[in-house]
Amino acid sequence: MSDTIFTKIINKEIPAEILYEDELALAFNDINPQAPIHFLVIPKKTIITINDIESEDKALVGHLYWVAAQIARDKGFADDGYRAVMNCNENGGQTVYHIHLHVLAGKPLGWPPYQDRLKTV
Ligand code: AMP
Protein backbone atom coordinates (compact mmCIF):
# COMPACT_ATOMS: atom_id res chain seq x y z
CA MET A 1 0.00 0.00 0.00
CA SER A 2 1.65 3.28 -1.08
CA ASP A 3 1.64 6.27 1.24
CA THR A 4 0.98 9.77 -0.06
CA ILE A 5 0.85 13.19 1.51
CA PHE A 6 -2.79 12.41 2.32
CA THR A 7 -1.73 9.48 4.52
CA LYS A 8 0.36 11.97 6.49
CA ILE A 9 -2.66 14.28 6.83
CA ILE A 10 -4.84 11.37 8.00
CA ASN A 11 -2.18 10.43 10.57
CA LYS A 12 -1.82 14.10 11.64
CA GLU A 13 1.87 14.03 10.73
CA ILE A 14 1.42 17.20 8.68
CA PRO A 15 -1.16 19.93 9.28
CA ALA A 16 -4.33 20.58 7.29
CA GLU A 17 -7.38 22.76 7.76
CA ILE A 18 -9.74 19.94 8.69
CA LEU A 19 -13.45 20.56 8.11
CA TYR A 20 -14.86 17.15 8.99
CA GLU A 21 -13.64 13.81 10.28
CA ASP A 22 -15.22 10.48 11.10
CA GLU A 23 -13.97 6.89 11.21
CA LEU A 24 -14.17 6.54 7.41
CA ALA A 25 -13.39 9.92 5.92
CA LEU A 26 -11.62 13.23 6.31
CA ALA A 27 -12.33 16.60 4.66
CA PHE A 28 -9.85 19.46 4.54
CA ASN A 29 -9.22 22.64 2.58
CA ASP A 30 -7.21 22.32 -0.62
CA ILE A 31 -3.81 23.98 -0.25
CA ASN A 32 -4.09 25.48 -3.76
CA PRO A 33 -7.75 26.50 -4.09
CA GLN A 34 -9.26 26.74 -7.58
CA ALA A 35 -12.48 28.42 -6.38
CA PRO A 36 -13.51 30.57 -3.39
CA ILE A 37 -14.37 27.30 -1.61
CA HIS A 38 -12.26 24.26 -2.48
CA PHE A 39 -11.86 21.32 -0.17
CA LEU A 40 -11.10 17.62 -0.53
CA VAL A 41 -12.99 14.66 0.90
CA ILE A 42 -10.87 11.53 1.19
CA PRO A 43 -11.36 8.03 2.53
CA LYS A 44 -9.08 7.04 5.39
CA LYS A 45 -8.56 3.78 3.53
CA THR A 46 -5.93 4.14 0.82
CA ILE A 47 -7.48 3.63 -2.62
CA ILE A 48 -5.00 4.68 -5.28
CA THR A 49 -7.28 5.69 -8.17
CA ILE A 50 -10.94 5.36 -9.15
CA ASN A 51 -9.83 2.27 -11.07
CA ASP A 52 -8.86 0.64 -7.78
CA ILE A 53 -12.28 0.96 -6.15
CA GLU A 54 -13.34 -2.57 -5.18
CA SER A 55 -16.88 -3.83 -4.78
CA GLU A 56 -16.44 -3.63 -1.00
CA ASP A 57 -15.61 0.11 -1.32
CA LYS A 58 -18.86 1.15 -2.99
CA ALA A 59 -20.53 2.38 0.21
CA LEU A 60 -17.32 4.16 1.24
CA VAL A 61 -17.21 6.12 -2.00
CA GLY A 62 -20.88 7.04 -1.56
CA HIS A 63 -20.01 8.20 1.94
CA LEU A 64 -17.53 10.72 0.49
CA TYR A 65 -20.40 12.36 -1.43
CA TRP A 66 -22.56 12.33 1.68
CA VAL A 67 -19.79 14.12 3.63
CA ALA A 68 -19.49 16.69 0.81
CA ALA A 69 -23.23 17.38 0.99
CA GLN A 70 -23.19 17.72 4.80
CA ILE A 71 -20.39 20.29 4.60
CA ALA A 72 -22.17 22.11 1.75
CA ARG A 73 -25.29 22.36 3.91
CA ASP A 74 -23.33 23.42 7.01
CA LYS A 75 -21.39 26.08 5.11
CA GLY A 76 -24.54 27.33 3.37
CA PHE A 77 -23.64 26.77 -0.29
CA ALA A 78 -25.69 23.62 -0.94
CA ASP A 79 -28.57 25.45 -2.61
CA ASP A 80 -26.34 27.73 -4.70
CA GLY A 81 -24.54 24.64 -5.95
CA TYR A 82 -21.10 23.23 -6.30
CA ARG A 83 -19.00 20.70 -8.19
CA ALA A 84 -17.78 17.42 -6.66
CA VAL A 85 -15.31 15.59 -8.88
CA MET A 86 -12.53 13.03 -8.77
CA ASN A 87 -9.62 13.06 -11.20
CA CYS A 88 -8.20 9.76 -12.42
CA ASN A 89 -4.65 9.17 -13.63
CA GLU A 90 -2.61 11.43 -15.89
CA ASN A 91 -5.21 12.54 -18.42
CA GLY A 92 -7.66 13.19 -15.60
CA GLY A 93 -5.14 15.47 -13.90
CA GLN A 94 -4.57 13.28 -10.84
CA THR A 95 -1.42 14.23 -8.93
CA VAL A 96 -2.02 12.59 -5.54
CA TYR A 97 -2.56 8.84 -5.76
CA HIS A 98 -5.10 8.44 -2.97
CA ILE A 99 -8.64 9.06 -4.23
CA HIS A 100 -10.17 12.39 -3.25
CA LEU A 101 -13.33 14.24 -4.05
CA HIS A 102 -12.67 17.86 -5.00
CA VAL A 103 -15.54 20.08 -3.83
CA LEU A 104 -15.53 23.48 -5.54
CA ALA A 105 -18.00 26.24 -4.77
CA GLY A 106 -18.53 29.93 -4.18
CA LYS A 107 -18.89 31.08 -7.81
CA PRO A 108 -20.46 29.87 -11.06
CA LEU A 109 -18.13 27.17 -12.39
CA GLY A 110 -17.49 26.88 -16.13
CA TRP A 111 -18.39 23.78 -18.11
CA PRO A 112 -16.76 22.02 -19.80
CA PRO A 113 -13.84 22.59 -17.42
CA TYR A 114 -11.14 22.67 -20.14
CA GLN A 115 -13.05 24.56 -22.80
CA ASP A 116 -10.19 27.00 -23.49
CA ARG A 117 -7.65 24.24 -24.00
CA LEU A 118 -9.99 22.33 -26.33
CA LYS A 119 -10.44 25.42 -28.52
CA THR A 120 -6.72 25.53 -29.31
CA VAL A 121 -6.43 21.84 -30.28
P1 AMP B 1 -5.40 15.99 -7.99
O2 AMP B 1 -4.54 16.83 -8.88
O3 AMP B 1 -6.79 15.75 -8.48
O4 AMP B 1 -4.68 14.71 -7.60
O5 AMP B 1 -5.60 16.84 -6.67
C6 AMP B 1 -4.67 16.88 -5.65
C7 AMP B 1 -5.02 18.08 -4.83
O8 AMP B 1 -4.36 17.99 -3.59
C9 AMP B 1 -4.58 19.41 -5.47
O10 AMP B 1 -5.72 20.24 -5.66
C11 AMP B 1 -3.61 19.98 -4.45
O12 AMP B 1 -3.67 21.39 -4.35
C13 AMP B 1 -4.03 19.28 -3.17
N14 AMP B 1 -3.00 19.17 -2.15
C15 AMP B 1 -1.74 18.68 -2.32
N16 AMP B 1 -1.09 18.69 -1.14
C17 AMP B 1 -1.95 19.19 -0.21
C18 AMP B 1 -1.87 19.46 1.19
N19 AMP B 1 -0.75 19.22 1.88
N20 AMP B 1 -2.96 19.97 1.81
C21 AMP B 1 -4.09 20.23 1.10
N22 AMP B 1 -4.23 19.98 -0.21
C23 AMP B 1 -3.18 19.49 -0.86
Number of independent structural domains in the chain:
1
User: Residues 38, 63, 98, 100: which is the catalytic one?
Assistant: 100
- pLDDT tens-digit profile of 51-68? 999 999 999 999 999 999
* Mean confidence (pLDDT) of the chain: 94
pLDDT for 1: 55
Q: Which helix (H) or strand (E) holds 43?
A: strand 37-43
pLDDT of 117 > 60? The answer is: no
> Which domain covers residue 24, as residue numbers?
5-119
Cα 121 to ligand 1 centre (Å): 27
Q: Which of 95, 100, 101 to mutate to test the pocket of ligand 1 (most atoms within 8 A of CB)?
A: 95
**Residue 33 beta carbon below 6 angstroms from any ligand 1 atom:** no
- pLDDT tens-digit profile of 24-55? 999 999 999 999 999 999 999 999 999 999 99
- pLDDT tens-digit profile of 69-83? 999 999 999 999 999
pTM: 0.94
Here the CATH number for the domain that contains residue 11 is 3.30.428.10
Backbone CA torsion sign across 42, 50, 8, 34? negative
